[in-house]
């Protein structure tokens, strides 16, 4: 996972690349929380472009970070989610809380 902080916009971008499951989440979580607390960003973006797999552990990961970011007055956006992962986010009801953008709108209609 790569993270970049854009000072001007106080924007923190995480480029996730791992398969997200119970195991990987433990490590990702800690790193993300450290970065968020260090930069106190106004906006946090989780870029899912390179995430090939996610199970329900990803829901917990996003909810947990959302709470922390909300507490420090920031906003969270999840971007470039594959249609498979989008299905999981849809089931969780998370879309009502957090903007989650799909990679390619056409793929959503495919289902």
Partner 1 sequence: MTKAFDNEMKIEFLSKSQNEAFARIAVAAFIAQLDPTIEEIADIKTAVSEAVTNSIIHGYEGKVGIVKLVCKIVQNEVFIEISDTGKGIENIEVAKQPLFTTKSNLERSGMGFTIMESFMDNVEVESVLGLGTKIIMSKKIKTNSSQEITQEMDISEDNSKELINSGVRGEE
Q: Least separation, in Å, of the C-beta of 36 and partner 1? A: 15
Q: Closest CB to partner 1 among 40 and 63?
A: 63
Question: What letters, b where the CB count within 10 A reaches 16 and e where it falls short, cover 67-87?
Answer: ebbeeeebebebebbbbebbe
Q: Closest CB to partner 1 among 77 and 92?
A: 92
Q: Least separation, in Å, of the C-beta of 87 and partner 1? A: 8
Q: What's the burial of 106, exposed, middle or buried (CB within 10 Å: 0-12/13-18/19+)?
A: exposed
Q: Least separation, in Å, of the C-beta of 75 and partner 1? A: 20
Which residues lie near partner 1 (CB under 8 A)? 19, 21-23, 25-26, 29, 52-57, 59-61, 63-64, 82-85, 87-88, 91-92, 103-104, 107, 110
């Amino acid at each position: 996972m790569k993270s970049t902080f854009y000072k001007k916009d106080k924007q923190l971008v995480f480029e996730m690349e791992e398969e997200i499951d119970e195991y990987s989440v433990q490590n990702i979580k800690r790193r993300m929380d450290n970065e968020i607390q260090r930069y106190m960003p106004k906006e946090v973006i989780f870029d899912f472009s390179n995430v090939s797999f996610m199970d329900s552990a990803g829901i917990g990961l996003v909810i947990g970070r959302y709470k922390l970011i909300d507490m420090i007055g920031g906003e969270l956006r999840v971007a470039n989610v594959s249609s498979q992962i989008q299905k999981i986010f849809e089931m969780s009801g998370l879309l009502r809380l957090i903007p989650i953008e799909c990679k390619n709108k056409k793929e959503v209609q495919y289902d």
